[in-house]
Structure 1
Amino acid sequence: MNCNALLTTPEAAEYLRLSFRTLNNSRYTGLLAGVKAPPYRKMGKAVRYELSALDTWKAQFSEQTSTSESAA
């Protein structure tokens, strides 16, 4: 997928493996998973997320191979 691609809220939620409602609510609270929610664009009534912005948001979470790593 093109890194400049614009995704709808359902597409972005699927990409992040979150529910539509969780991502939708993050626009109002400003938080998602306890950190600042990814930026979005309003195009008229439509909301779009840049794929590159979603990747940047995901990158702030460390990848873990076991639950014991999170306690370290």
Structure 2
Amino acid sequence: MQKNSPTTQQPEPISSDRLLTVQETASVLGLAVSTLNRARVYGTSDLPPYVKLGKAVRYRLSTVQAFIASRTENQHTTQQQAA
């Protein structure tokens, strides 16, 4: 008889959509961790949605990237006034 050895295979990570910690997300966005935490708890800010895994909070990399892209501006904010 052949023994069945249990093999535990880890799923392949999806590198383009990995889950970021709050610290990693804050770093990518250039914000303080406390800003993300406060916005999440009080719902006071327009920041990327998060994923809750048990007690852990994570942000999808693709969501954070889309958030940044949606706020990228190509125009100057100053306007020239006619003299």
Deviation at 1:58, TM superposition (A): 0.8
Gaps of 5+ in 1: none
The number of residue pairs the alignment matches comes to 65
Q: From the superposition, tell whether residues 27 and 49 of structure 1 become closer, same or farther in structure 2 (CA, over 3 Å).
A: same
Deviation at 1:62, TM superposition (A): 2.4
The reply on whether 1:70 has 2:77 as its aligned counterpart is yes
Relative contact order, higher structure (CA 8 A, sep 6+): 1
Percent identity (aligned): 40
Deviation at 1:30, TM superposition (A): 2.7
Deviation at 1:31, TM superposition (A): 4.2
List, as ranges, runs of 4+ consecutive aligned residues in structure 1 with deviation greater than 2 Å.
28-32, 62-65
Structure having the larger proportion of residues in helix: 1
Aligned residues of 1:3 and 1:50 also touching (Cα < 8 A): no
Specify the alignment match of 1:27 in structure 2. 40
Question: How big is the alpha-carbon RMSD for the aligned residues of Structure 1 and Structure 2?
Answer: 1.8
The higher radius of gyration belongs to 2
- TM-score where L is the length of structure 2: 0.67
CA distance in 2, matches of 1:60, 1:31: 19
